[in-house]
Structure formats: C-alpha cells, structure tokens
C-alpha cells in the first residue's frame, strides 16, 4: 500500500494554520471544565504536579509522534499507520490502533457534546441577567434545573452536534483557522479577568494557590495518578488520532518540535489559569472542591453575577467556551469522517451525517446519567462517568502507548529522523529515547499500579 505525498483532503495554508487548528483541538472543555473539577476531586497540588510531568514527559514527545505519523502517512490514522508499517516491513495489524482511535473519538464526543450543550445553555442565562447577584446556592440550583431536564439537555446537545457536523461537512481547513485566531486570545482575556476577580478575594486566592501548587502526596490515590495521566492525553487531544489527522494536512517544512511545544504550552497555561479562576470562588463561597462535573457551572456565575459588566462578560465567556468546545469537537469527528471517506468511499456529507447521528444517539446515555438514569450504574459508575473513565483513563493512554511504540520501534530511525527534521543531534536522540522507553514505561507503570501489580 503506497503512501501519498499529500492528503487528498488538502493542506493547511501555513504552519500557523496548523498551530491554530491544533490549539483549537487542544484547548476546550478539558481545560476549563474538566481540569478544575478533577483537580478538586483529587486533592490539588500533587495531582497537578503529576499532570504537569505527564504533559512534559509523555505529552510533548507523543504529540510529536502523532504529528510525524500523520504527516508521513497523509491519510486517516488507520491508513497512515497501515501504509507506514507496510513500508517499514512490519505487520499491517497496526491499523487497528487507528481503529481504536476512531472509536475513542466517537465515545468522547458523545459526552463532550452534552457538556458543550450546557455551556451553550449558559449563554442566554448570562446575557439575560439570571446570574445578577446570585449566591452559591442560587448558582447550584440554576445548574441543577438544567441537568435535571433531559429535554433541555437534548436540545442543546442536538444544536452542538449540528454545529460540529456542519463544519466537518465543509472540510476543517476552511474557517477553523480564522475563528481560532479570534477565540483563543479573547478567551484568554476573559479568563485573566476571572483570575483578577479571584485575586481580589485575597486570602481565598492564596488558599487556591496553595491548593493547586502545594504538593501533598498523601492526598494522591492510584486512581488520581491515572486520572492525571489520562487528562494529559485528553487535554492535548492525544492518543486517538485527532492530532494525527491534523498532522496529515501539515506542509512538509513545518517544525514538528516547535509546533508541539507551542501547543502544549498554550494548553497548559489555559488550564492553570482556569484553576486559578475557579478555586477562589470555590473557597470564598464555602463550596466543595470535590463538587464534580458541575464545578464551573456552580462557581463562575457567582463571579459574573457580582463583577462590573458581569452580564456582558459572562455571556461572552460562555460563547467563547462554546467556540473552544466546538473546535475540539470538530477534531474528535474528523478522524472518523476521513476514514469513512477514504476507506468506505462515502462523500464527506454522508460520512459526517452518519457519524453525527450515531454520536448524537450515544449522547443520550450521558444526558440520562444526569437525570432519569442517575441510578443506571456499571462498576458503581454512571454512564457518563463510565464513558469518561473508559476513554480518558484507559483508551487514550493505551492508544498513546501504542503510538509511542509505533513511532519508536516500528518506524526506523531514518524515517522518523527524516520526518522530524531535527537532524541527528541531542534533541532527536532525546525524543527517540522518550518514545521508545520513557513514555511506554511511564504509561505501563501507571496502569500496573492501578490494578495493584506494584503494591
């Protein structure tokens, strides 16, 4: 199976277009909704430290691996892996790794869309002044009212899926670039304003800094470590082929190392700032850091309800959050659609609609897990918790492990060196040692720990 030199779906117009799109994929609900609540659930500092270590040691090298595989293969993850393996004289069974990625994207988007729908539901609430002067209890009951109502969640979930499919139908290279260029800086500014609001709470801001950065390993469980690692994958969009597909549209000359570093730094900054914005509100209002997935919806309205121009900024914030989720959602379906187009001979329209409908249906499980189906449990987890655990904590790290092995062991030294374009110096050797040994071993240790093999 020959490997094309260009993707049939086109290329990014520049290196910046790729950085913007990949940042659009990375920065999303993972940073603003998920990072704060899982940090709260897992005791803060030590969890954050593990997360940061995973970003540096696993995330950056793996992002480079995904981009290089994508750019070398120039097709959907399944075909890219298959044709590279074939070229290197290895088993084409590696394509199944791409298949798992496509499936992971399916599962993630089904709940991602429901949460994005909640962010969307907050846009009219914020603009119309519902949060004006709201108390912590008030904010909690506003969120409860939303999640207790399956019809409303369904309506917003439907709109989000339509928006996402609408873009994917037209091909992701068009439009994504321009919107991300505006959304990201604007989102950054409003988060900074929220951090400023938190800063004014004085002692509670200090308490938050303590919570996020003071390291106390006694608070960290095995599951906490797994969650931190899983989140490093989730937040950087790694382990399922999203970045691989975006890499397949990357022009040959761009430096994979620089773009990976840039994206990872931007993503991490947004997450840490989101933490600094949320926790002062948590502590100042006597809320629990362990409140779970509703955390941002229970806290941010309080800030918007009390700050000058809060009605306006609140509305804008949820619009921006929606856009950030949108650009991530798009990258979650793109691998599936490209696969259906390339391997199943579908048109982009048909492929997008089919995948959209199935993901939309699957989203019902998450919707019901917040209300009618709260008691439907498997292994003690609700359907939403189960999907989240399975994808973020198991499937993404497993995918990442195999991608690292592929880049480090299946691809010959010359192939990856040629594609990375870093020469044969220290930087390249460090990367190769990381993907060959450090990344796989780190992932295996965390898995082994979890199932109690190392105790």
Q: Given the structure tokens 């044969």, which residue do they identify? A: 424
The residue ranges that bind Na ion (CB under 5 A) are 26, 30-31, 235, 267
25 near ligand PHE, rule: CB under 6 A: yes
C-beta separation of 368 from 383 below 8 A: yes
235 near ligand PHE, rule: CB under 6 A: yes
Q: Alpha helices, DSSP H only, in 285-309? A: 295-306
Q: Which stretch binds ligand PHE (CB under 6 A): 20-28, 250-258, 280-288, 378-386?
A: 20-28
Nearer residue to ligand PHE within complex by CB, 12 or 283:
12
Start-to-end C-alpha separation, the chain: 46
Which residues face 381 on adjacent strands? 378
Sequential DSSP letters for 94-146: GHHHHHHHHHHHHHHHHHHHHHHHHHHHHHHHHHTTTTTT--HHHHHHHHHHH
Q: Which does 332 bind (CB under 5 to 8 A by kind): Na ion, ligand PHE, none?
A: ligand PHE
114 near ligand PHE, rule: CB under 6 A: no
Total residues at interface with ligand PHE (CB under 6 A): 15
Sequential DSSP letters for 36-70: HHHHHHTTSHHHHHHHHHHIIIIIHHHHHHHHHHH
291 near ligand PHE, rule: CB under 6 A: no
> Whole-angstrom Cα distance, residue 197 to residue 185?
19
How near is the Cβ of 345 to ligand PHE at its closest, in Å?
26
237 near ligand PHE, rule: CB under 6 A: yes
416 near ligand PHE, rule: CB under 6 A: no
100 near ligand PHE, rule: CB under 6 A: no
Residue 422: half-sphere exposure toward Cβ, Cα within 13 Å: 19
Q: Which does 176 bind (CB under 5 to 8 A by kind): Na ion, ligand PHE, none?
A: none
Q: Which helix (H) or strand (E) holds 16?
A: helix 15-26
Which residues face 378 on adjacent strands? 381
411 near ligand PHE, rule: CB under 6 A: no
Nearer residue to ligand PHE within complex by CB, 108 or 340:
108
Q: Which residue is nearest to Na ion (CB)?
A: 235
Q: Which stretch binds ligand PHE (CB under 6 A): 135-143, 232-240, 250-258, 434-442?
A: 232-240
108 near ligand PHE, rule: CB under 6 A: yes
28 near ligand PHE, rule: CB under 6 A: yes
Q: Which does 268 bind (CB under 5 to 8 A by kind): ligand PHE, Na ion, none?
A: none
412-428 b/e with 16+ CB inside 10 Å = b?
eeebbbebbebeeeeeb
Residue 14, token pair as written in the block? 């520049």
234 near ligand PHE, rule: CB under 6 A: yes
Among 29, 119, 126, 194, binds ligand PHE (CB under 6 A): 29
Nearer residue to ligand PHE within complex by CB, 232 or 284:
232
> Whole-angstrom Cα distance, residue 299 to residue 138?
10
Nearer residue to Na ion within complex by CB, 131 or 233:
233
Nearer residue to ligand PHE within complex by CB, 106 or 447:
106
Distances (CA, A) of 115 to 42, 148, 153, 207: 21, 13, 9, 28
How near is the Cβ of 51 to ligand PHE at its closest, in Å?
12
242 near ligand PHE, rule: CB under 6 A: yes
Q: Which residue is nearest to ligand PHE (CB)?
A: 30
Q: Alpha helices, DSSP H only, in 148-255? A: 150-170, 176-199, 203-213, 222-235, 242-247
How near is the Cβ of 394 to Na ion at its closest, in Å?
19
30 near ligand PHE, rule: CB under 6 A: yes
282 near ligand PHE, rule: CB under 6 A: no
């Amino acid at each position: 199976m020959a490997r094309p030199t260009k993707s049939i779906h086109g290329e990014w117009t520049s290196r910046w277009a790729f950085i913007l799109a990949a940042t659009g994929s990375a920065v999303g609900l993972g940073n603003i909704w998920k990072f704060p609540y899982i940090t709260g659930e897992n005791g803060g500092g030590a969890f954050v430290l593990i997360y940061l270590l995973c970003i540096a040691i696993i995330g950056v090298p793996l992002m480079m691996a995904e981009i290089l595989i994508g750019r070398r293969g120039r097709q959907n993850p399944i075909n890219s892996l298959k044709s590279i393996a074939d070229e290197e004289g290895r088993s084409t069974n590696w394509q199944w790794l791409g298949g798992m990625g496509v499936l992971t994207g399916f599962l993630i988007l089904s709940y991602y869309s429901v949460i994005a729908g909640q962010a969307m539901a907050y846009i009219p609430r914020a603009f119309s002044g519902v949060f004006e002067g709201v108390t912590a209890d008030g904010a909690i009951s506003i969120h409860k009212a939303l999640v207790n109502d399956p019809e409303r969640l369904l309506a917003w979930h439907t709109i989000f899926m339509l928006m996402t499919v609408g873009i994917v139908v037209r091909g992701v290279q068009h439009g994504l670039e321009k919107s991300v260029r505006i959304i990201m800086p604007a989102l950054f500014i409003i988060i900074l304003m929220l951090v400023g609001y938190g800063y004014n709470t004085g002692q509670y801001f200090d308490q938050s800094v303590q919570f996020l950065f003071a390291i106390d390993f006694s608070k960290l469980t095995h599951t906490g470590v797994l969650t931190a690692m899983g989140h490093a994958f989730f937040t950087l969009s790694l382990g399922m082929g999203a970045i691989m597909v975006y890499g397949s549209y990357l022009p040959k000359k761009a430096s994979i190392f620089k773009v990976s570093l840039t994206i990872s730094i931007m993503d991490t900054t947004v997450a840490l700032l989101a933490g600094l914005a949320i926790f002062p509100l948590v502590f100042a209002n006597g809320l629990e850091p362990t409140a779970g997935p509703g955390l941002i919806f229970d806290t941010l309205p309080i800030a918007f309800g009390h700050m000058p121009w809060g009605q306006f900024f609140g509305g804008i914030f949820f619009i921006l959050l929606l856009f950030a989720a949108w650009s991530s959602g798009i990258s979650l379906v793109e691998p599936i659609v490209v696969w259906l187009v390339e391997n199943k001979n579908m048109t982009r329209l048909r492929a997008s609609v089919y995948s959209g409908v199935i993901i939309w249906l699957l989203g019902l499980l998450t919707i019901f897990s917040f209300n009618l189906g709260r008691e439907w449990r498997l292994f003690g987890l609700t359907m939403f918790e189960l999907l989240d655990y399975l994808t973020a904590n198991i499937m993404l790290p497993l995918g990442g492990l195999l991608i690292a092995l592929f880049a480090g062991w299946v691809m010959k030294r010359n192939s990856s060196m040629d594609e990375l374009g870093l020469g044969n110096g220290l930087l390249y050797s460090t990367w190769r040692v990381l993907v060959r040994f450090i990344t796989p071993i780190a992932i295996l240790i965390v898995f082994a720990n979890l199932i109690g093999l190392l105790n």
